[in-house]
Amino acid sequence: MANEIERKFLVHKDMIPEAKQCIRMIQAYLCTEPERTVRVRISGEEAFLTIKGKNKGITRKEFEYSIPLEDAKELMNLAVTKPVEKIRKIIYDNGKKWEIDFFEGENKGLVTAEVELSLEKEKVIIPVWVGKEISEDLKYRNSMLSKMPYSHWK
């Protein structure tokens, strides 16, 4: 059993430093209930099935398993919402790994950054390119973006 402790932010797009790594991702949701989400993700040439529990603050249960790429492609057909497409760039800043997601498709224009923590109260030095915190704003969750894409927001 694993806990995911994560803070999420909007970013100042024009200030993002050079990324060490860049990965194209597509993910689709097999379940988007408030108590749990079940996601299939294709990340480059790898594929994963992820089950996440309900958030308690910025912490939730997370179980992630590698699956065959062909299985992931088949599971995408069982999605209950539209897929979420993004390019993830990895940046290391002040000893922390930051994942910056540049959304594509119907979520184009949205850019978010996430940092995983060991403890909820862990201190994080926020880089200058990081903006408003959105950790507990449900509309920015990928599972919600699959139902109500960024381009449909008023």
Please identify every residue annotated as catalytic. Answer: 29
Distance, CA of 4 to CA of 1 (rounded, Å): 10
Angle CA 100–105–108, to nearest 5 = 50
With contact defined as beta carbons under 8 Å apart, do 29 and 83 qualify?
A: no
Distances (CA, A) of 94 to 6, 12, 30, 45: 16, 18, 36, 30
Distance, CA of 107 to CA of 63 (rounded, Å): 26
Q: How many residues does the chain have?
A: 154
